[in-house]
Amino acid sequence: MIKKTIFVEIFIVVSVLLCVLIFRRQTTVVTQTDEEKRRIALTFDDGPGKYTEELLDGLLERNVKATFFLIGKNAEMYPEIVKRIEQEGHIIGNHTYSHVKLTCISNEKAIEEIRKTNSIIENITGKKVEYIRPPFGNWTKKLENSVNMKPVFWSVDPRDWSVLNTDTVTCHIVNNTSEGDIVLMHDIFETSVDAAMNVVDILQQKGYEFVTVEDMFGSEEK
């Protein structure tokens, strides 16, 4: 009789625990989906440059994290800025050493462009570079397997490098960006840096959160 009671008690305890676990799992999933829905990743290519620090000040003030795809040559020129980007919690990616079309040169040269840039950045930050944005979006699976890095493309392109107008760039991004978008900009232009600040102010008010590509991809993989 006692044995039977103990068995029933154990059964009840296990059932309650299972219910709690299932319920917690469900609530976690719901919260994650809600968060993901309002996430946007701002990405800045071609730097660091003379406006990058102004951008970093603005992002810090607004508590925004972004992703910077650096050109190796420029990283060599501005190591202090590279360090600051890393220290302030942004993600640094590779944008080749001399901004080449990777599919228009030999595989060996392409790998060299990428590896050289990785080692410049890694020597400054002490952190492994995992992401690459191939200039002009030129990329192959062969290259991806050779360097074992994650390519990051984009879904919103305001063509800021050609427009060079703060209001036009701001307007294009605000009108074309929603949940899960990756916005492409260039922090080597003052108009782009100003537009980025406007975009953050407008979209934060609408309830969007700005995250790095690592946060964006990390939540997709879960």
187 binds Zn ion (CB under 5 A): no
DSSP run (H or E) holding 131: strand 131-132
For Zn ion, give the closer residue by CB, 46 or 160.
Answer: 46
Nearer to Zn ion, 96 or 166 (CB): 96
Q: How far is CA 116 from the centre of its chain?
A: 21
CB of 129 to Zn ion, least distance (A): 16
Residue 126 has φ and ψ, to the nearest 5°, of 75, 10
Q: Could you tell me the smallest distance in angstroms from the CB atom of residue 13 to Zn ion?
A: 59
Could you tell me the smallest distance in angstroms from the CB atom of residue 55 to Zn ion? 16
How many residues bind Zn ion (CB under 5 A)? The answer is 3
* Residue with smaller CB distance to Zn ion, 51 or 208: 51
Contact partners, residue 100, CB within 8 Å, separation at least 6? 109, 110, 113, 135
Our CB check for Zn ion shows the closer of 45 and 113 to be 45
What whole-number distance in Å separates Cα of residue 205 and Cα of residue 10? 51
Catalytic residue among 186, 187, 194, 215: 186
Instruction: For residue 154, give the DSSP letter.
Output: -
- For the window 131-170, what string marks contact with Zn ion as x by the rule CB under 5 A? ----x-----------------------------------
* Nearest residue (beta carbon) to Zn ion: 45
Query: Cα–Cα distance between 91 and 207 in angstroms, integer?
Result: 22
Among 44, 45, 149, 196, binds Zn ion (CB under 5 A): 45
Q: Which residue lies nearer to Zn ion by CB, 96 or 212?
A: 96
- Judged by CB under 5 A, the chain residues 99 through 138 that form the site for Zn ion are 135
Q: For the chain, list the strands marked E by DSSP.
A: 39-45, 67-70, 91-94, 131-132, 150-151, 182-186, 209-211
The dihedral sign for the CA sequence 211, 213, 48, 154? negative
Helix (H) or strand (E) holding 73: helix 72-77
Burial class, 99, CB count within 10 angstroms (exposed 0-12 / middle 13-18 / buried 19+): middle
Taking contact as CB under 5 A, which single stretch among the options 43-51, 84-92, 165-173, 176-184 is the one that binds Zn ion? 43-51
Residue numbers 23-42 binding Zn ion by CB under 5 A: none
Q: Which of 41, 42, 46, 215 binds Zn ion (CB under 5 A)?
A: 46
Q: Is 186 a catalytic residue?
A: yes
CA distance 66 to 57: 12
Instruction: Note the residues at the interface with Zn ion (CB under 5 A).
Output: 45-46, 135
Active site residues: 45, 186
